[in-house]
Amino acid sequence: MTTPNSAATDASSRYEIFYDHPACKVLDRLSQAQYEPIDEKIVGLSLNPRPHGYKQLHPRLYRVRVGDWRIIYVVDDDTKRVIIADVRRRGKDTYKSL
C-alpha cells in the first residue's frame, strides 16, 4: 500500500544522478572513509534533491555539506536529473570559481 509519505521513495519520483568530470576526479582520490558519507549523501539526492541543510547558490545550483566537504550540484526538475558538478573541501576559495 502506498501512503503519501512513501511516495518520495517511488521509483518514478527518483532523480537520476550524473557526475561531471571535476566531481569524478575528486571522488576517485578520496579514501574509503571520506568517500562513504559523501556517496551516501549523493544517493540521498536521488530521493530528495533539496534535503535539510541544502543551500541554493544560483537559480539551479545547490550545495550540501558532508563534514568538511561540499557537494555542488545542479537540479533539473524537468528531466528529474541531479548533476554532481564538483566535490570540494570547505575553504575560503570553495565557491570562488562558481
Structural domains in the chain, CATH included, are 11-89 (3.30.2310.20)
Per-residue pLDDT of the chain (98 residues; tens, 9 = 90+): 344 444 445 667 899 999 999 999 999 999 999 999 999 999 999 999 999 999 999 998 999 999 999 999 999 999 999 999 999 998 777 666 66
Question: CA torsion 50→51→55→60, rounded to 10°?
Answer: -10
Q: How far apart are CA 28 and CA 65, in angstroms?
A: 19
Q: How far apart are CA 17 and CA 82, in angstroms?
A: 5
Residue at grid coordinates 521509483: 11
